[in-house]
């Protein structure tokens, strides 16, 4: 592009894994930080995870925070990653806005994104009280490294596992490590 930067394409991690783009804009939750040279972190946007490397700036992403990442799409040894230009903390509600914008930009994928998230438009139900109780239970069981899903299911009942999956898809909670989740604050 002459006289300026190339435009960043708004994408999901899943679409980035399937399509080629030079520059992309992703929104997700930081699920782990990697100390090293260069510093990096893992971004989860509910459609997948991707490594984000910060070559020119120190890592400013904190585990559990929602971030907007704009950067260059790269590949090394068959693994895609983002070489970030901008990493900015955002309100967690922007995750849903980003997901809806990506769907509106690519209507052909709207049904698959809706199916992947399970939620396009949510109605308020009596289950909201159950979600509040679930979040409270997760916080109580989280000793710092995440609440074990097995313990949550034992305490909340058989439907708790399905509710955990729904909450992961909506971005209310995130998986710290296999079988352990944290509430997104």
Q: Tell me the per-residue pLDDT of 80-96, one tens digit each, with 9 for 90 and over.
A: 899 988 888 888 888 77
Query: Mapping DSSP to helix (H, G, I), strand (E, B) and coil, where does residue 143 land?
Result: coil
User: Which residue range(s) make up the domain with 76?
Assistant: 9-117
Whether the pLDDT of residue 144 is over 80: the answer is yes
**134 and 85 housed in the same domain:** no
pLDDT in tens, 122-143: 333 344 567 788 888 888 898 8
The b/e string for 119-141 (b: 16+ C-beta within 10 A; e otherwise) is eeeeeeeeeeeeeeebeebbeeb
The total number of structural domains in the chain stands at 2
- At 108, is the pLDDT very low, low, confident or very high (cuts 50, 70, 90)? very low
**50 and 70 housed in the same domain:** yes
**24 and 65 housed in the same domain:** yes
| Closest to 40 measured CA to CA, from 8, 71, 78, 15 | 71
**99 and 163 housed in the same domain:** no
User: How many angstroms separate the CA atoms of 163 and 131, rounded?
Assistant: 8
Asked whether 39 and 61 are in contact (CB, 8 A), the reply is no
pTM of whole model > 0.85? Answer: no
**44 and 112 housed in the same domain:** yes
């Amino acid at each position: 592009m002459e006289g300026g930067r190339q435009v960043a394409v708004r994408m999901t991690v899943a679409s980035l894994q399937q399509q080629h783009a030079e520059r992309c804009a992703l929104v997700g939750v930081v699920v782990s930080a990697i100390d090293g040279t260069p510093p990096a972190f893992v971004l989860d946007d509910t459609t997948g995870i991707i490594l984000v490397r910060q070559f020119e700036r120190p890592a400013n992403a904190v585990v559990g925070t929602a971030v907007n990442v704009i950067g260059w799409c790269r590949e090394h040894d068959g693994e895609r990653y983002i070489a970030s230009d901008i990493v900015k903390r955002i309100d967690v509600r922007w995750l849903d806005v980003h997901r809806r914008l990506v769907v509106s930009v690519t209507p052909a994928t709207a049904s698959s994104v809706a199916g992947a998230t399970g939620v396009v438009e949510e109605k308020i139900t009596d289950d909201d009280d159950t979600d509040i109780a679930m979040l409270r239970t997760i916080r109580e069981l989280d000793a710092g490294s995440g609440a074990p899903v097995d313990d949550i299911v034992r305490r909340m009942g058989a439907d708790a596992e399905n509710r955990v999956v729904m909450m992961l898809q909506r971005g209310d909670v995130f998986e710290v490590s296999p079988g352990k989740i944290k509430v997104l604050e």
